[in-house]
Amino acid sequence: MKTGFGNAVITPPNHTCLLAGYALRPAAGVHDDLYASAVFFDDGLTQAALVSFDLLAMEKELIARLKQRIRQACGLPPANVIFSCTHTHEGPEVRERKFRDRWYGEERPDYLDPYLDFLGARTVEAVQAAQAAAQPVDLLLNRAYVDENMNRRFFLSDETYLGVPGNKHLSPITTEHADKELGILAFCPQGTRYPSGVIVNYGVHPLVAGHLAPFISADIPGVVRTLMHESLHCPICYTTGAAGDNHPKSPEAGYAEMQRAGQALATEAVKRLYDARKANEPLRIRCLSRTIPLRQRTYEEFTQIHGADEASIRYNFCRVEQPGAVTDVEYALLAVGPVLFIGVPGELVAELGSVLKWFSPFKRTYILYQSTDSLDYIAHPNAYRWGGFEAMVGQLSPGAARPLVNAILDAAEELAAEELAAEERAVQAASH
C-alpha cells in the first residue's frame, strides 16, 4: 500500500470570522493556525483520502461541495473521501443553516462566501500534496490510555443533573463513561520504523482555550500536531473521536492548560511508537458510504426529555429543520487493513462510540467526529431519561441512535466479510 500526507492552512485570511464554539464572537487575531490535514491511500486497486479539518462542524451541503472539488482536481470519487472535524471551538463558523434559519437571530456574515471558496481551494491543495507524497509503507499500530478527558455529565443521588462545565469543582469526581483510548497509526517507508506520517485519534472536546479567548486556535489538536512533528519530523493528522460528552479535564482554562493537555497526548503518542506493532495483515483499502432514513425530533419529544423546561425547549427546537420528517442521514466507513474509521453525522457521545468499538468486527475502530453532517448531539436512549445538555441539543429523534448504530455495525460486518473473502482468494491463488 502507498500512503501520503499533506496539509494546508485554513486559517481565515486577516482572521475575519466569527468564532463558532460559543456565542459567535468576532476573532481578534490568530493564536495558532488552523489546518486541513489529508491522508491519501492507494492499495493498487482502490484510492481513498481522509481529511481532518480544524473546524467545529460542517453541514452535508458543504461536505458535498468540497468532495466534488476533490473529485474534479484529484480524481477521487466522493464515496472514497471521508472527512472529520476536530471540533475546535476557536475556528470560523461555517454552518449555513444557523444563519439561514436564524436560530438565534444572527445575520449571514459577509466572510462566509469568500472563506468557503478559500476552504475548497485549500482542501484540494492538501489532498494533492498527500497524493504527491504517496510512497510504499508499512503500518505500525499502537494505543495508549491517556487520562486527559472526562465525562461532563454529573448526577446527584436525587437524579439532579449538573453539567460539569458549569460546575467545574465537580471535575475531579466525575465518574460517567469516558473513552481514554489514544489511537496511533504510523505509516513508515517499507522496512523502517521511521514514520512518514501519523494519524492519531482521541475523544475530547477541543475547548481548553475557552470562551474568553478571542483568538483563532486549533486548541489541543494543534498542540499535539506541533509537538509530535517536532519529535518525528513528519506530518500528523489529528482526528477527534466520539467526544460528545467527553470534555478535557480542565475546560475553558486558557492557553497554558491547552499546551499542557496537548503535550500529554503528544508525549504518549510519541512514546508508544517505540513499541508499536507492525500490521502483518494485507493493507487493503475499503470504502463504504450509505444513508439511513431517520426521523427528526418533534416538539413533543423535547417535552419528554427529563428536566426539559419551556425556555430550553424553545432554545433548541429552532435547530430542527423539519420536525417529525424522515431524512436520509449519511454515515461513512474507511477500512485501512485491520483498522476501521467510522464517520458519523454529528456529535456522537462516548458511550455510543464505545459500543461501536466493542461490537466492531475490526480489531481497532475509531470514530471520526462531525464527519458526514452536523446534526448536533447523538446520545444513547438512556440519556434522555436522565436529561442534560447532550439530550436537549439534538436534531434527531431520541429513537434514532439504535438504528444508526445497527446500520453502521452491519456495514462494518460487510467490509470485514469482503476482507475475509479477499484473503481466501489470495490463498487459493497462491496455492495454484
Scanning 41-169, the segments in alpha helix (DSSP H) are 60-74, 96-100, 112-132
- 158 with 194, same domain: the answer is yes
Same domain (yes/no): 372, 391: yes
Given a contact cutoff of 8 angstroms between Cβ atoms, the answer to whether 179 and 349 are in contact is no
Identify whether 371 is part of a domain.
Answer: yes
Q: Which of 227, 262, 278 is the last residue of a domain?
A: 278
3-state secondary structure of 92: strand
Integer angstrom CA distances of residue 59 from 270, 297, 345, 353, 367 = 33, 18, 9, 21, 18
Cell 483563532, located at residue:
216
Go through 73-94 and write b for each residue having 16 or more CB atoms within 10 A of its CB, e for each that does not: bbebebebbbbbbbbbbbbbbb
Based on the domain organization, do 265 and 325 belong to the same domain? no
| Alpha-carbon span 214 to 422, nearest angstrom | 52
Name the average pLDDT for the chain. Answer: 95
Domain boundary residue, one of 255, 278, 301? 278
Range with the poorest average pLDDT among 58-67, 288-297, 378-387, 418-427: 418-427
Position 99 in a domain: yes
**What whole-number distance in Å separates Cα of residue 368 and Cα of residue 59?**
15
Query: In whole angstroms, what is the distance from residue 230 CA to residue 195 CA?
Result: 13
Q: Which residues of 288-321 are buried (b: 16+ CB within 10 A; e: fewer)?
A: bbbebebbbbeeebbeebeebeeebbeebbebbe
Domain identity same for 86 and 187: yes
Quick one: how far is CA 311 from the chain centroid?
30
Residue 216 carries which side chain, given as an amino acid letter? I
DSSP β-bridge partners for residue 326:
295
172 & 227 share domain: yes
Residue 427: pLDDT above 90? no
DSSP string, 335-351: EETTEEEEE-SSEE-HH
CA distance 74 to 70: 5
Looking up cell 466572510 gives: 111
What DSSP state is assigned to residue 13? G
Return the residue matching grid coordinates 417529525: 324
Q: Residue 412 pLDDT > 80, yes or no?
A: yes
- The helix or strand, by DSSP H or E, that contains position 301, with its residue range, turns out to be helix 299-303
Residue 432 lies in a domain: no
| Grid cell locating 10 | 485554513
Q: Is the pLDDT of residue 404 over 70?
A: yes
pLDDT at 423: 75
Render pLDDT for 137-172 as a digit per residue (tens, 0 to 9).
Answer: 999 999 999 999 999 999 999 988 999 999 999 999
**Inside any domain, residue 427:** no
pLDDT digit string (tens) for 27-45? 999 999 999 999 999 999 9
164 with 23, same domain: the answer is yes
Residue 337: CB partners within 8 Å, gap ≥ 6?
1, 139, 279, 281, 282, 283, 284
pLDDT tens for residues 100-128? 888 888 889 999 999 999 999 999 999 99
Instruction: Give pLDDT, residue 26.
Output: 94
Proportion of the chain above pLDDT 90, given as a percent = 91
Same domain for 310 and 175, yes or no, is no
What SS3 class is residue 178?
A: coil
Maximum Cα interatomic distance, the chain, rounded to a whole number of Å: 71
181 and 32 together in one domain: yes
- Does residue 216 fall inside a structural domain? yes
- Look at residue 10 and tell me if it is in a domain: yes
- Report the C-alpha gap between 212 and 255 in whole angstroms: 11
Q: Angle at Cα 157 formed by Cα 151 and Cα 162, nearest 5°?
A: 40
- Let me know if 391 is exposed, middle or buried by CB neighbors in 10 A (0-12, 13-18, 19+): buried
The residue type at 73: A
Owning domain of residue 255: 2-278
Confidence (pLDDT) at 104: 82
> Do 33 and 66 reside in the same domain of the chain?
yes
Last residue of a domain, one of 224, 258, 278: 278
Residues 312 and 189 in one domain: no
Residue 430 in domain: no
Bridge partners of residue 49, in order along the sequence: 40, 81
**Do residues 118 and 225 both lie within one domain?**
yes
Question: Same domain, yes or no, for 168 and 256?
Answer: yes
Structurally, the chain folds into a number of domains equal to 2
pLDDT of residue 12: 97
Does the residue 77 lie in any domain? yes
